[in-house]
Structure 1
Amino acid sequence: MKKRLISVLSMSLAITFLAACGAGTPKTSDSTASGGSSSKGYKVAYIARAQSDSFAAWLANAVKDEAKKYPDIKLDVFDGQANDDTENSMIENAITNKYDLVIVQPNNGEAQRPYVEKVVKAGIHAITTNARISGIEGASSVDANPYEQAGVNARAAIEQIPQNAKVVVLDGPSGNFHADERRKSWQKEFFEKRPDVKIVGEQIANWNKDEAMKYMEDWIQSNDKIDAVISMNDNMAAGAIEVVKDNPKFKNMLAYGVDGTAEALLLIQEGKMTSTCMQSAYDLATKLLESGNKLLTGGEKQIDTDIGNPLVNKDNVQQYIDILKKSGAIK
């Protein structure tokens, strides 16, 4: 397991991000240029939410790889460090540096909204992704359906979580479209149908594994039993699982997440995690570069599209592990 987790971490570290904040011109953390001079091609800025987020790192890597298929695109990748001010500054710098396309993975959609609006007003193409910021005229989006991402787990959990269970809930950042919609889905698809289930702990862990671990440490001190961890992403679920991995009292604890990260797939294979929803970074990256190319070349003016939401559990996890092995994400 340790070797496999090392390969997950190495995937996250594969991108050398920029740690920029405040005003000023950012230096690019990484760039991909295939053929042709930058003066004849298109400059694309990809602003990631946070290097510390395993899914955000996976997606940034996938975008880098996909960009290599487009000879006219020069891609620069930046790290928003899970900080609204940092990310907003990077968006402004992308405008100043006259990028042709700015792709934003928001930390907090409403905080980034006015800055993405500035991109559009500057005559620059904009795409928001994971999660989309809806309602910006002239801005495109590539995303998934977060309600269904949680819903596929919640509907399965109705039969899996025992009667009168005690559960804990790990939420993403308040105001984030994916965080809010996934929590809403769990409420409607599970909690309203299973009033016997008691939530004994719920906290916002901001997609972060370390934060989730701290909350889980508190919860196991105050509860002699936790039947399930309901998490809005895999990273937080993995943190909760890490805390109780050697505690026999929690050996039958169920755990649910979203993203389909390499770590989550391996935990499902080992029987430590119940299920996740695959949010394929490869599919998102494919659609991001496809859409970006159409916008840049004048094929489309605005594009809004989603990827699918397959449930991953012990019955089908191997096929997804095989996909990540082919890509090198799992060794």
Structure 2
Amino acid sequence: MRKKILAVLLVLTLVLTALAGCGGDNKDAQGDKDGYRVAYIARAQSDSFAAWLANEMKAEADNYDDITLDVIDGQADDEKENAAIENAIANGYDAIIVQPNNGEAQRPYVEQIVSAGIIAITTNARIDGIEGASSVDADPYVQAKVNAEAAIKQVPKNGKVVVLKGPSGNFHADERLKAWKEVFFSARPDVKILAEDFANWNKDEAMQLMEDWIMAHGEIDAIISMNDNMAAGALEAVKGKAEYADILSYGVDGTAEACLLIEEGKMTSTCLQSAIDLAKLNMETVHKLLTGEETQIDTDIAAPLITKDNASEYVNIYKERGLITE
């Protein structure tokens, strides 16, 4: 791929505030901006979407004169993320936004945020049922549904597919898989699942699984992935192999990499989970909660399908934001 994809390099460029494992008051590290101190506990900077979202959160926070946002990397590890939440509580932030690694593992720690009298928001994915906490998310069932509906007509009769799953117990992973089962597989009983496994949103894990499946099964008509990062990894495993030139591939997120792959005809479709929109909505939400304009907010972003017909529109958006360079 000739274009450099900044979304893939966010891991190297994101500036994080090193709070995990550090005690004491961080007020001196907040700069000259007066107002509210907000901590954003990101799931993992090794995940291209999570890294993109963290960068967009920082950029959007800069639009608020009364908000200082610190981003903390949970490193895709429940213990580290939970420790980061406890640290943020101890450091007296006015609001804490949590992007869970595993919703149920973070639930009691988000409850601690509420108990401490600090504004709590869960995002990408929300944790339902925490009294006093707000949420900003997308509907993962709908995200998969729009892909699954398209796949009903696209996957060949008696097609052979593989399925890449997100982390077990993750709300988005579970709901997307549920949609594929209820919308696609129930309508296409002729389709055979050759293999399915957890790749945990990880590109390298997905590539390794796909390499194994190629060896074990040979012919594969479609890759059904719960996110773009895993889909891209699976496609990397078949890159340059003529027998897989027409393989179908579905994802979710609408990352810069996925949009380029779709534009080039290497990926079939994805559903946009816009980190730009999520960040904007998160900052709007936390500001309303901090200023007392509202006391409880639960809201979702839209879920448009991206295909070869409209991928260039999103590629141009990413170019404008500097996320794709020639």
Q: Same fold (TM over 0.5)?
A: yes
Q: 1:157 aligns with which of 135, 143, 151?
A: 151
- Matching of residue 180 in structure 1 with residue 174 in structure 2: yes
**SS in structure 1 at match of 2:72:** strand
After TM superposition, give the deviation of residue 311 of structure 1 in Å. Answer: 0.1
Name the aligned partner's letter for residue 205 of structure 1. A
Alpha-carbon distance between aligned partners in 1 of 2:259 and 2:60, rounded to the nearest angstrom: 23
What per-residue deviation string (whole Å, max 9, x for no partner) do you get for residues 171-202 of structure 1? 00111110000000000000011010001110
Instruction: Map 1:1-331; keep pairs closer than 5 Å.
Output: 1-5=1-5, 7-17=6-16, 23-25=21-23, 36-37=33-34, 41-331=35-325
**SS in structure 2 at match of 1:276:** strand
After TM superposition, give the deviation of residue 36 of structure 1 in Å. Answer: 3.7
What per-residue deviation string (whole Å, max 9, x for no partner) do you get for residues 271-306 of structure 1? 100000000101001100000000001111110000
Alpha-carbon distance between aligned partners in 2 of 1:16 and 1:234, rounded to the nearest angstrom: 24
What per-residue deviation string (whole Å, max 9, x for no partner) do you get for residues 146-193 of structure 1? 000000000000000000111000000111110000000000000011
Q: Would you say the 8 A contact 1:150–1:258 is kept in 2?
A: yes
Q: Would you say the 8 A contact 2:38–2:94 is kept in 1?
A: yes
Note the aligned Cα RMSD (angstroms): 1.6
**SS in structure 2 at match of 1:292:** helix
Alpha-carbon distance between aligned partners in 2 of 1:283 and 1:255, rounded to the nearest angstrom: 25
After TM superposition, give the deviation of residue 133 of structure 1 in Å. Answer: 0.3
What per-residue deviation string (whole Å, max 9, x for no partner) do you get for residues 111-137 of structure 1? 000000000000000100000000101
Name the aligned partner's letter for residue 281 of structure 2. K
Name the aligned partner's letter for residue 12 of structure 2. L
- The count of corresponding residues between Structure 1 and Structure 2 is 323
Q: Would you say the 8 A contact 2:39–2:72 is kept in 1?
A: yes
**SS in structure 1 at match of 2:194:** strand
What per-residue deviation string (whole Å, max 9, x for no partner) do you get for residues 199-218 of structure 1? 11100110000110110010
Alpha-carbon distance between aligned partners in 2 of 1:19 and 1:192, rounded to the nearest angstrom: 47
Structure 1 runs (4+) deviating above 6 angstroms are none
Alpha-carbon distance between aligned partners in 1 of 2:63 and 2:202, rounded to the nearest angstrom: 32
Q: Would you say the 8 A contact 2:135–2:299 is kept in 1?
A: yes
Q: Would you say the 8 A contact 1:32–1:68 is kept in 2?
A: no
**SS in structure 2 at match of 1:194:** coil
Distance 1:26-1:267 versus aligned 2 partners, 3 A rule? farther
Structure 1 alignment gaps of length 5 or more: none
The normalised TM-score by structure 1 is 0.94
Distance 1:26-1:66 versus aligned 2 partners, 3 A rule? farther
Name the aligned partner's letter for residue 38 of structure 2. V
Alpha-carbon distance between aligned partners in 2 of 1:82 and 1:313, rounded to the nearest angstrom: 30
The normalised TM-score by structure 2 is 0.96
**SS in structure 2 at match of 1:168:** strand
Structure 2 alignment gaps of length 5 or more: none
